[in-house]
Amino acid sequence: MGGYIFDMRKLVGHRTIIQCSGSIIIVDKNGRLLLGKRTDNHLWGYAGGSVEINEKIEDCAARELFEEMGIVADEMELFYINSGKDTHYIYPNGDEVSNIEIVYICRKYHGTPKAQESEIEELRYFTLDEITPDMISPPIRPVIEEYMRQFKKD
């Protein structure tokens, strides 16, 4: 870990900080979502992370996608802004955050999925029927629930 959040943690320890992040939900041509199993809480999520000083949110989301999953976003569309009490989270290491997350959907991308081993245990495509709330990392559950509301066909 490096950058802005790392520097902030040196100053505030585990205290709650506001964390702004950019994230991307990858959707393949069959409508499946590419999710990564996190190494910290062993739950599934999409690519995303903290914005660095002076970084555009779109660039942050694309950077995090490449770093965590080895994929390059060709096109992104704004999907959801995730914030509020449901995004308050305490990481397994004790760091506490109140997230403001700007989430994009990406259906046009290239590259071969490859997990960043320090953050992702496994990458896998899921159909919407395979995804349950309890398998998703807590602070992003509202995003996945909204995605399901909009795109899951009963």
Domains of the chain in sequence order: 17-151 (3.90.79.10)
Task: Supply the pLDDT for residue 65.
Answer: 98
Task: Supply the pLDDT for residue 152.
Answer: 87
Express each pLDDT in 82-99 by its tens digit.
Answer: 999 999 999 999 999 999
Rounded to whole angstroms, the Cα distance separating 27 from 34 reads 7
Sign of CA dihedral 109, 114, 115, 117: negative
Query: What's the predicted TM-score (pTM) here?
Result: 0.94
Rounded to whole angstroms, the Cα distance separating 97 from 13 reads 11
Low-confidence ranges of the chain (pLDDT < 70): 1-2, 154
CB distance 101 to 81 below 8 Å: yes
Task: Supply the pLDDT for residue 144.
Answer: 97
Rounded to whole angstroms, the Cα distance separating 100 from 96 reads 13
